[in-house]
Amino acid sequence: MHNRTIAELADAMARGECSSVELTESALAAIDSASDLNAFVTVTPESALAQARAADDARRRGEAGALTGVPIAHKDIFCTAGVRTSCGSRMLDNFVPPYDAFVVEKLRRAGAVMVGKTNMDEFAMGSSNETSWYGPVRNPWSKDTVPGGSSGGSAAAVAAGLVPATTGTDTGGSIRQPAALTGISGLKPTYGRVSRYGMIAFASSLDQAGPMAATAEDLSIMLTAMAGFDRRDSTCADEPVTDYRAALGNHSLKGLRVGLPREYFNAEGMDAGVATAVQQAIEALREAGAEPREISLPNSGLAVPVYYVIAPAEASSNLSRFDGVRYGHRCAEPRDLEDLYKRSRGEGFGEEVKRRIMVGTYALSAGYYDAYYLKAQQVRRMIRDDFARAFEQVDVIAGPTAPSVAFAIGEKADDPVQMYLSDIFTIAVNLAGLPALSIPAGQSDGLPVGMQLIGNHFDEARLLGAAHGFQQLTDWHKQRPSPEA
């Protein structure tokens, strides 16, 4: 059952070749034997098997859907009732939420079986999964390299074939960049497409939940289950949800206008191997009838600096609730209130989180607000306008997902600016609230290269259709790391 897609597993269950209980047991065993990857923070065998039995019962009653009985895992940023939700932080090492995130609830109702919670950068702040309190995740393709981040555990779990699909969140590239670095498919939906309820906030105006899986088809199955209006999230869009899988065939590559931002291909610090792989992928699109053309996104270069004002500013406020008063880490024997705050937060948060809280606090401070936060919001609008103009001419925008393949663990850990540049191509998409996905598009030095496709607001169906079309032509998405990598 290892390395099978959701679609394949559902078919196998439908044909009676295996049960959900068997699949779940197999997934739990695989997770156990791949513990060196450190992809999971929490494994929930008992509740998983109970859910699997319920799924098998539902199937016997003829009530099975596309996800019924399929084992999946959630990034540990999604609150799960009764299951510790750490957000990769010591701060929440003891936190057991009494409620489920919308995404968790939706996928459970769709019949998916949760086998556990995946490792991640602390509070989703990182591009390598090295900031986790639970230690780094290893990339199954090469265990000395990072899987990307912040949804590194979710990416590694799919890449290693432990589960066919996982959930992730993407604030500046946290689904797409790890998908690229581990050779899987990952979708960041339009801001507002998936409810943020129960998803621990990093930067509220940028955070978006999305699926990670081997294929675009599996992403479409997952998104159909995850998307939808939720009145508990005021920023959630009341847009109808398409059956994205059924819509895959509606979007052929023929005549697809593909924009190639010259700024993405001329970017400084881009690996030649990555550039070559993506260019070949675009050639394949052209051969299938797509119409690539150069476009310009003139403000692309401002995306990273703007992001590193807005995201930390919001984070500095979002993370204020972790104060040691009501839940989460509390220091031992506080002397007084000030001491309680300082030590609880000082001990509970890691270095990268502290760095961003400080940067964000500074950006919002009296006297600096206009120069940083307000200015960043203005530039954010310019970036959004760049995309709006581009989508007058093209249907999707293509380019590399990340400037390099997976890098060595520790390589950028002490250089935050180099680390931040890992997200140079993904960040603008969050600033503009657009949907984008990363799909495997080649290899460089034996490591996967991801191609990013960016769509217009709520145009997920077209994006998934294009990605699916590409995956009909190529087999990069079928490449798997060798077990002894």
Partner 1 sequence: MEWEAVIGLELHAQLATNTKIFSGASTAYGAEANTQACAVDLGMPGVLPVLNEKAVRYAVRLGLALDAQVAGRSVFARKNYFYPDLPKGYQISQYEIPVVGPGHLDIDLDDGSRKRIGVTRAHLEEDAGKSLHDGFGTMSGIDLNRAGTPLLEIVSEPDLRSAREAVAYMKKMHSLVRYLGICDGNMQEGSFRCDANVSVRPVGQSEFGTRSELKNLNSFRFVERAINFEIERQIELIEEGGAVIQETRLFDPDRGETRSMRGKEAANDYRYFPDPDLLPLEITPALIDQVREELPELPDARRSRFVTDYGLPDYDAGVVTASREMADYFEAVVSGCGDAKLAANWVMGELAGALNRAGLDIADSPVSAETLAGLLRRISDETISGKIAKEVFEAIWAGEGDADAIIEARGLKQVTDSSAIEAMVDEVIAANPEQLEQYRAGKTKLMGFFVGQVMKASAGKANPQQVNQILKQRLDG
Letter for the amino acid at 100? Answer: D
Q: Is 199 in the site for partner 1 (CB under 8 A)?
A: yes
Beta pairing, strands 165-170 & 71-75? parallel
Q: State which residue, 97 or 148, has the beta carbon closest to partner 1.
A: 97
**Residue of the chain from 24, 42, 68, 85 that contacts partner 1 (CB under 8 A):** 85
How far, in Å, CA of 102 to CA of 110, rounded? 12
Contact criterion met (CB below 8 Å) for 289 and 252: yes
> Which residue in 433, 439, 477, 448 sits closest to 170, CA to CA?
433
Whether 150 sits among the annotated catalytic residues: the reply is yes
Whether the upstream peptide bond of residue 154 has omega within 30° of 0, thus cis, is no
Q: State which residue, 5 or 80, has the beta carbon closest to partner 1.
A: 80
Q: State which residue, 33 or 235, has the beta carbon closest to partner 1.
A: 235
Q: Which residues of 67-79 are buried (b: 16+ CB within 10 A; e: fewer)?
A: bbbbbbbbbbbbb
> What 3-state class would DSSP assign to 397?
strand
Q: What number of helices (H) and strands (E) belong to the chain?
A: 16, 11
The residue from 19, 75, 117, 127 that is catalytic is 75
Q: Torsion angle, CA of 240/245/250/256, rounded to 10 degrees? A: 100
Q: Is 122 in the site for partner 1 (CB under 8 A)?
A: no
Q: Is 365 in the site for partner 1 (CB under 8 A)?
A: yes
How far, in Å, CA of 213 to CA of 165, rounded? 4
Name the segment binding partner 1 (CB under 8 A); options: 56-64, 135-143, 357-365, 410-418: 357-365
Q: Is 265 in the site for partner 1 (CB under 8 A)?
A: no
**Residue of the chain from 326, 392, 414, 482 that contacts partner 1 (CB under 8 A):** 326
The H or E element containing residue 444 is strand 436-444
Smallest distance, partner 1 to C-beta of residue 106, A: 15
Q: State which residue, 42 or 68, has the beta carbon closest to partner 1.
A: 42
Name the segment binding partner 1 (CB under 8 A); options: 251-259, 287-295, 300-308, 322-330: 322-330
**Residue of the chain from 109, 254, 321, 389 that contacts partner 1 (CB under 8 A):** 321
Count of residues near partner 1 by CB under 8 A = 44
**Residue of the chain from 12, 49, 331, 364 that contacts partner 1 (CB under 8 A):** 364
Smallest distance, partner 1 to C-beta of residue 213, A: 23
Residue whose pair of structure tokens reads 């939706």 in the numeric block:
106
Smallest distance, partner 1 to C-beta of residue 71, A: 23
String marking each residue 177-196 x if it binds partner 1 according to CB under 8 A: -------------------x
Name the segment binding partner 1 (CB under 8 A); options: 157-165, 255-263, 312-320, 379-387: 312-320
Q: Which residues contact residue 26 at a Cβ distance below 8 angstroms, ignoring those fewer than 6 apart?
A: 1, 2
Angle at CA of residue 21, ends 15 and 25, nearest 5°: 120
**Residue of the chain from 327, 384, 479, 480 that contacts partner 1 (CB under 8 A):** 327
**Residue of the chain from 58, 95, 257, 347 that contacts partner 1 (CB under 8 A):** 95
Token pair, residue 429, equals 């998409």
Q: Is 358 in the site for partner 1 (CB under 8 A)?
A: no
Q: State which residue, 109 or 232, has the beta carbon closest to partner 1.
A: 232
Ramachandran class of 292: left when φ > 0, alpha when ψ lies in -120 to 50, beta otherwise? beta
**Residue of the chain from 262, 273, 355, 369 that contacts partner 1 (CB under 8 A):** 369
Residue whose pair of structure tokens reads 């993904």 in the numeric block:
426
Whether 317 sits among the annotated catalytic residues: the reply is no
Q: Is 320 in the site for partner 1 (CB under 8 A)?
A: yes
Token pair, residue 99, equals 């409620």
Q: Which residues contact residue 2 at a Cβ distance below 8 angstroms, ignoring those fewer than 6 apart?
A: 26, 30, 161
Q: Is 226 in the site for partner 1 (CB under 8 A)?
A: no
Q: Which residues of 157-189 are buried (b: 16+ CB within 10 A; e: fewer)?
A: bbbbbbbbbbbbbbbbbbbbbbbbbbbbbbbbb
Smallest distance, partner 1 to C-beta of residue 362, A: 10
Smallest distance, partner 1 to C-beta of residue 377, A: 9
Ramachandran class of 390: left when φ > 0, alpha when ψ lies in -120 to 50, beta otherwise? alpha
Q: Which residues pair with 224 in a beta bridge?
A: none
Task: Give the residue numbers marked as catalytic.
Answer: 75, 150, 174
Residues found near partner 1 in the complex (CB under 8 A): 78-79, 85, 87, 92, 95, 97-99, 101, 196-201, 203-205, 231-235, 313-314, 316-317, 319-323, 325-327, 337, 341, 361, 364-366, 369, 373
